[in-house]
Amino acid sequence: MEYVLIIISALFVNNIVLAQFLGICPFIGVSNKVGTSVGMTGAVTFVMVIATIVTYLIQNYVLVPLNITYMQTITFILVIASLVQLVEIILKKVSPPLYQALGIFLPLITTNCAVLGVAILAVQKDGFGLSHSVVFAIANALGFGLALIVFAGIRESLDLADVPKPLKGVPIAFIVAGLLAMAFMGFAGVVPN
């Protein structure tokens, strides 16, 4: 039941993008097409889960025992940057079309605050072991993907809609993002924080 609560909370109640406002840059930047959003979700999921595992281990077996937890943020950033480079190399060899579709956004995962935020939140949660942290990372990555894909679908529909000229493009995207965030606020209270 514990894991179910973590998953529901991360997907809907405390969505990393719509409730905690982490990862807004790729949310706005990559959400033009559903296909690209699905690819970005896959890349972010991989990096977020692996980064959470590695940073959890580094936190508990290196930083805490050596009493250098003040190095947490810089250490986590270096780990995430290394993992993004690994994902970039793998995607270039395995799926060149996806690599081309993601373009500049793949290196931007390095600076995606959602990945760093989840890694830090996972080590700060009381009573979270490695398995809880992994479930937390997967659920947050899926929550990121859910928000990104839903938003991309809406933006694709908006391209066909008769939107007033001053609102076309980014302005209507921000309005829709705000409405989507408000819709997700409806889940507040379903799961305790």
Where are the domains positioned within the chain? 25-185
pLDDT over 70, % of the chain: 94
pTM: 0.86
Taking the C-alpha atoms of residue 4 and residue 127, their distance in angstroms, rounded to an integer, is: 16
- Whether residue 173 has pLDDT greater than 80: yes
Taking the C-alpha atoms of residue 121 and residue 57, their distance in angstroms, rounded to an integer, is: 14
Q: Give the mean pLDDT of 61-84.
A: 92
Query: What tokens does 142 get?
Result: 């899926």
26 within 8 A of 44, measured Cβ to Cβ: yes
pLDDT tens digits along 88-118:
888 888 888 877 766 666 777 777 789 999 9
Query: What tokens does 123 get?
Result: 């080590």
Taking the C-alpha atoms of residue 12 and residue 185, their distance in angstroms, rounded to an integer, is: 8
For 98, other C-beta atoms within 10 Å of its C-beta total: 18
